[in-house]
Amino acid sequence: MKETDRHAGFATTLAKGLTVLETFRPDRTVLSNSEIATHTGLNRPTVARLTYTLTKLGYLKQEKSKFRLSWGALMLVNPLLANLKILHIARPSMQKLAQDLGGTVSIGVIDGVNFVYLETSRVNENIWTSPDLGTIGPLAPAAIGHALCSLLTDQECELKIRQMKQLGPDLWSKYSQSFIQGVANCKSRGFSVTRGEWIPGTHSAGVPLLRDKKGECFAMNCRVPIFRLSPNQIEEEVGPRLKSLAANVRNQLEFVMP
């Protein structure tokens, strides 16, 4: 729970319950009360009350002494994604590019100092752990993070940088130069490239997609194992093809949107 969210109208118990739900990730799908307490910083008796309540409400399912997200949690996500035309339009082209290059193609949005994947297309191989819906990663080292932040105004980007410095000083110290250069590259040539900086063994390209009327930023990335790429292919082919894909999605959106 964020310590800065102190206000007379702030519902602390609700915030703690949502913090418990946010603890579950693709790499930790089943957790005990003690493990949740460790990840959240909440004391164990509080966690026990919250997991009991969330289980009764259908958001968690208990398996012996551990818990996992229940299908009821999908009710929170479905209304958000159901009418997101961008995903429906982008899927076929994303899948084709993923198959052509032997990698993954994803769409993501900004969430604080992180990005969240909304959609991922991949080749039908289990080469590495593939990102999918709800996967979270830091903005600073990721090509999609550079692309997303390139859609922000200068003031918004400065604020985002201050947040990254405050919440992840070590991460920012390591990746600040590549982040700043990546944002600049997205603005100047339309895409950013990272070479195994965040996920070893893979190269990535990220492109800004669009910013909607509500101010939400959307970007795309393509991640390919290094062994499938020629030395300059990520710059000369992957980045430009992803940029072209994003432009095509924007054109189709303009056609279908009223």
Tokens for 120, please give them: 């991922």
Q: Percentage of the chain with pLDDT > 70? A: 89
Per residue in 11-40, pLDDT tens? Answer: 889 889 989 998 988 778 899 999 999 999
| Position 254 confidence tier, pLDDT thresholds 50, 70, 90 | confident
Decide if pLDDT at 80 tops 70.
Answer: no
Listed range (25-34, 52-61, 75-84, 167-176) with the worst mean pLDDT: 75-84
Q: What pLDDT does 79 receive?
A: 61
Q: Three-state DSSP class for 148?
A: helix
Per residue in 192-250, pLDDT tens? Answer: 999 988 888 999 999 999 998 889 999 999 999 999 999 999 999 999 999 999 999 99
| Position 90 confidence tier, pLDDT thresholds 50, 70, 90 | very high
| Position 122 confidence tier, pLDDT thresholds 50, 70, 90 | confident
Decide if pLDDT at 185 tops 50.
Answer: yes
- Write the CB contacts of 3 (distance below 8 Å, at least 6 apart in sequence): none
Cα–Cα separations (whole angstroms), residue 56 to 17, 20, 62, 183, 225: 13, 14, 10, 45, 43
Decide if pLDDT at 1 tops 60.
Answer: no
Query: In terms of pLDDT, which residue wins out, 79 or 141?
Result: 141
Q: Three-state DSSP class for 192?
A: strand
Residue 191: name the closest of 180, 182, 199 by CA.
Answer: 182
Per residue in 129-163, pLDDT tens? Answer: 555 667 889 999 999 999 999 999 999 999 999 99
| Position 8 confidence tier, pLDDT thresholds 50, 70, 90 | confident
Q: What pLDDT does 131 receive?
A: 53
Q: What pLDDT does 75 receive?
A: 72
| Position 3 confidence tier, pLDDT thresholds 50, 70, 90 | very low
DSSP per position, 67-115 = EEE-GGGHHHHHHHHHT-HHHHHHHHHHHHHHHHHTSEEEEEEEETTEE
Decide if pLDDT at 127 tops 60.
Answer: no
Residue type present at position 12: T
Q: What pLDDT does 83 receive?
A: 55
Q: What pLDDT does 258 receive?
A: 47
Q: What pLDDT does 26 receive?
A: 72
Under DSSP, the state recorded for 229 is S
Q: What pLDDT does 199 receive?
A: 83
